[in-house]
Structure formats: C-alpha cells, structure tokens
A and B are shown apart, each in its own frame.
Chain A
Amino acid sequence: MIAFGSCIVDPAAYIRYARPGIQAAAEPGATVFAFEAVGTICRSNNLLLDAAAARDDLEALVLVDEHVELADPGLCAALREAFADPEVAVVGAMGASGVRSIAWWEGRISRGPVRQRHHDHGGGEVTAHGWAPIEAPPATVDTVDGRLMALSPWAVRTLRFDEELSLGFGHDLDFCLRVREAGRRVVTAPIAAVLHHTLELVPDRDLWVEGHIRFAEKWDGRMPGDAPTEDWKARARRAEAERDAARTLGYSSTSTVDARLAPLERELDALTTSPSWRITRPLRALNRRLKQR
C-alpha cells in the first residue's frame, strides 16, 4: 500500500491543493495521513513517519506539502518502478546532484513535469526552476525537494528527520544525506505536479540564512566530496567576494527585468490612454455590468 502524508499548517491550502491531487493519485485502500503540523517541519514529518511505520503493508510513504498538487494519475506505478531497486530509499519529483548547501537548486537539477502556479503579478504559471537547465528524470541525485518526496519502507522505519534543525531549512537535504550515508540511493522520477507557491524562492530571508549556517555547521567537512576546511580565512574571503558578486548580479537582474518590461508597459500604456480606448470606456463598463447579471 502506498500511503500519503501531509502536515497541515494552512487547512485551506491543503483542501485546495494537496488533497485533490492525493485523491486523484491514491489507489483504493491507500491510507492518507493528514495531521495538524506540530512544531517544526521535522517533528511533523516524523509524526507521519511514525504512523506510516506501523503499517505492515507499507510500500511507500509519499510526503506532500500542502501547497503541492499532485497531477499524476500514474504516480503509484512510477513509484513502484523506482522502488523496484531495493537500494532506492527516496524518490522525488525534483532534485539535484552536485549539491553544496541547502540551496540545492544551485546543483544540476533533475525534474519531471512540475509547474509552478503563482498568484503574484496577476497570477499565472511558470516552469519550475525555469532559470536553470533541467535534466529529465530518472536520475540519481544528492537530494530531492522535500515538498514532494516518497520514502521506502526502509527509510520510513530506519531514519527520522533531524529535529535539531529547529528552523527546518534543509531538512530534506539532511535526510537525503543520511540515506546516502547508509548506502542507499536518492533518485528523481517523472512525477507531474503543480507547486502553488509565490515566485520568490526564499521568502524568509534572515531565517533562511541562519538555517543555511546551522546546516553547514552540522555537515561541514562531512558532505560527500567535501574535504575538511584548512584555511578558513581564504574560504571566508572568497565567500564574501562571491556574496557581493551575487548581490550585484541581483541589482543588474532587477534593472534588466525593468528594462525588458519597459517596452511592453509603454505599449500597454499607449493603448489604454489612446482616445479610442478612452471614448469606449462607457461601452466596457456597460459590458461588465451585463456580464455581472
């Protein structure tokens, strides 16, 4: 039995996004664990793992963030195929290899048909991680995005999310690193989903920075391929330079976005301030009223 689990902070979001996707993807007899969130994401996820671990017939547990809408009726078949390899312990819709920090998206991204539906800027839909080159799944990766991850029975019964990561950031990478330390694999699969999320990658910036630091302190020198740092001064100098370069790139990006949009905005402005648009305003108002009836 493939079970589903969500920890719920915002019930309306769960009802609107996660639940319909789970209902469409779940097989008859599947158990859906929908629990109120308790404490951090790690503690909440562990509650789901505890509940799922008790099920003797468990084939996998799919952790679904309340803002993620599964859009894949073939999800269970895709998961069974991925878990057919007994070494696979975690399957995700989005992940990356070459990951150095909780900013896993700086690695080589592997992702299936995942779209991001946003409500900012009038609403719309963009391709998730649309700024980066994407490799198609399946792929063995360092980590998957914790908003949609499936765990094997071994992972459910053997590992727990680290509740000492009290800010929660990087809980998914931390879990995947421990899976790999235990000799198991983390993979992506071609799972379709819709992320209902603001376009901003990191809304809680100050907290995220603190979470990044705590994670780095935990794993420093232990990440696969990492050597212990011998010259912290050189590392700090380089990081500070790269930080300033990245910030400056951000300023350039802002100017570029504004510059690229300026011709479109001028065109729209010219249209909507034209005499013919203005003299037909009563017509449009009338049309709106008729439609409202």
Chain B
Amino acid sequence: MIAFGTSITKPEVFRRSAEPGIRRAAEPGSQVLAGPATGSIFHSYNAILDRAAQLEDLEALVLVHQDTELVDADLCAKVRDALADPQVGIVGCVGAIGVRSIAWWEASVTLASFINRYEEHGGGDLHSFSWAWDDAPPYAHTGEVETLDGFLLVLSPWAVREIRFDEGLGDFHGYDLDFCLQVREAGRKVVTADLRAIHHRPLQMVPDPERWVTAHVAVAEKWDGRMPGIGTGPGSWRERALRAEAERDLALAIVHWKALEETARTAAAQHAIAETRGSLSWRLTAPLRRLSRTAA
C-alpha cells in the first residue's frame, strides 16, 4: 500500500492543492496521513513517519507539501517502478548533483519536472526545464542524485522506519537535503523519477532570508567532512569569506539592477500601449471594434 502524508498549516491551501492531487494519485486502500502541523516541518514529518512506520503493508510514503499538487494518475505505478531497486531510499521529481549547500539549485540540476504556479500579478505558470520531455535540455535525466526538492518526496519503507528528519536543524529550510544526506550516508540511493507536480507557491523563493542563512550554516556545519562536497569550497577560510562577500554583493547588485529593469521595461510597455491606443489608425477603427463586440 502506498500512503500519502501532508503536514497542514493552511487548510485552504491543502484543499486547493495537495488534496486533489492525492485524490488523483491514490489507489483504493491508500492511507492518507494528513493533519495539522505540529511545530517545525522536521517534527511534523517525523510524526507522519512514525504513523506510517506502523503500516505493515507499506510500500512507500509520498510526502507532499500542502501546496503541491500531484499530477500523475499513475503515480503509484511509477513509484513502484522507482523503488523496485531495494537500494533506493528516496525518490523525487527534482534533483541535483554537485551539491554543496541547502541552495541545491546552485548545483547541477538533473531533473526538474514541475510547474511553479503563482498567483501574484494576475497569476501564471513557470515551467521547469523537464516538465515536458520534448522541450527538455540534454542534461535532463532521471536517476541517482545527491538531493531532492522536498516539496515531493517518496520514501521507501526502509527510509520511513530507519531515518528521521533532524529536528535540531531549525524549523523548515534544509530538511530535504539533510534527509537525503542521511539516506546516502546509510548507503542507500537518492533518485529522481518521472513524477510530475504543480507547486502552487509565490515567486519569492526565500521570504525569510535570516532563517534561511541560519539553516545554510547549520547544515554546512553538520555535514562538512561527513559527506563529500557539502560545506566545502576552495581556499582558506579567509579567502572563502572575502570571495563569498564579494559574490554576495554582486548578487545583490543584480537584484537592484532587476528592480531598475522592471521600472524601465514597465515604462516602455506602458508607452507602447498608450501610443497604440492613441494612434490615428486605432481611433479610426474604434467603430469596427464596437461592432465586433456587439456581434459577439
């Protein structure tokens, strides 16, 4: 039996996003372990794992964020296929290799099969690079990775019973990377599979930078020297500090540039619209458009 788990802090988001996806993907007899969050995501997910571990016929536990909508009606078949290799401990639809920190997207991403559906500015979809295989870049492939994005995680029964989210790391950020590192440290595989989901989330990726920075440091401190790559970098600590401060300031300068660019592009688009609407040909054809609207 493949079970589903969600930790809920916003019931209306769950009802709109995760619930329909779970209904779409679940099989008759699937258990749905969805309930209010109990503290951090680490703690809430561990509570779900404790419950799932009691299920004797458990084949897998699908953990989805409350804002994640599963798209595949045949998700269970795909999960069984991915977990057919007993060495696989965890599966996801977004993964990366060469990871050095919780900012795993700064590494080499091998698969990203999701849509970021946002509501701001009238709403819209951002398709990640392997959402549609026909348009996917040559580096897109499923298989073994170093970490997964936590919005959709599929855990093997072994992982459900043997591994726990590290509640000492904080309240949200880095829980996915840390869990994957624990799976790999235990000798099991972390893999991506051809699963797809819609992530209903705002465009802002790090709304709470200070907590994110704290988690970044905590995960680096925990794993540096325990897992190759994590928390490492070239040069002495002094050299690393000075370079990172320079690169941080450069990244902030790019953010400022984007703000100016938005102002400039908005002005250009508004000017073009005003010019079009104010043109003689637009005004001459106004009766035609009125006629067309009346006919419609």
Contacts and interface: CB of A to CB of B under 8 A. Distances in A.
Contact of A236 (B244, B282, B289): B244
Interface string B243-272: 111111111111111111111111111111
User: Interface SS of chain B: helix, strand, loop or mixed?
Assistant: helix
Nearest to B204: A252
Nearest to B276: A271
A252 B281 contact: no
Contacts of B212: 241, 245
B216 A208 contact: no
A260 B262 contact: yes
Contacts of A247: 103, 106, 247, 251
Interface in B98-135: 101-103, 105-106, 116, 118, 120-122, 124, 126
A240 B248 CA distance: 8
A69 to B, nearest CB: 18
Contacts of B221: 237
Contact of B245 (A124, A239, A274): A239
Nearest to B209: A245
B249 A106 contact: yes
A247 B242 CA distance: 16
Interface residues of A, number: 75
Given A213-B246, A257-B265, A229 B241 contact: yes
Interface string B211-237: 011101100110000000001010011
Contacts of B120: 256, 259
B205 interface: yes
Contacts of B292: 275
A261 B266 contact: yes
Nearest to B120: A259
Contacts of A129: 256
Given A236-B237, A284-B279, A264 B251 contact: no
Nearest to B217: A237
A256 B105 CA distance: 18
A239 B276 contact: no
A232 B236 contact: yes
B103 to A, nearest CB: 4
B216 A253 contact: no
Interface residues of B, number: 74
A135 to B, nearest CB: 17
A101 B249 contact: yes
B250 A208 contact: yes
Majority secondary structure, A binding face: helix
Nearest to B270: A264
A23 to B, nearest CB: 29
Contacts of A274: 289
Contact of B267 (A124, A202, A275): A124
Interface stretch (A48-56, A82-90, A115-123): A115-123
Given A199-B264, A253-B258, A242 B244 contact: yes
Given A124-B268, A244-B101, A276-B289, A283 B250 contact: no
B255 A246 contact: yes
A254 B261 CA distance: 10
Central interface residue in B121, B126, B214, B246, by most chain A CB within 10 Å: B246
B257 A201 contact: yes
Nearest to B245: A239
Nearest to A211: B246
B241 A209 contact: no
A243 B248 CA distance: 4
A276 B282 contact: yes
Interface of A: 101-103, 105-106, 116, 118, 120-122, 124, 126, 129-132, 199-202, 205, 208-210, 212-213, 216-217, 220, 229, 232-233, 235-257, 259-265, 267-268, 271-272, 274-277, 279-280, 283-284, 287
22 contacts: A103-B252, A118-B260, A124-B267, A131-B256, A131-B260, A209-B243, A210-B246, A216-B242, A232-B237, A232-B238, A236-B240, A239-B245, A239-B248, A241-B212, A241-B220, A242-B209, A242-B244, A251-B105, A257-B265, A260-B266, A262-B124, A268-B272
Given A130-B263, A199-B257, A243-B247, 12 more contacts: A106-B252, A209-B247, A212-B246, A236-B233, A240-B244, A242-B209, A242-B248, A243-B245, A247-B251, A249-B205, A250-B254, A255-B118
Closest 4 A-B residue pairs measured CB to CB? A280-B281, A212-B246, A276-B285, A246-B251
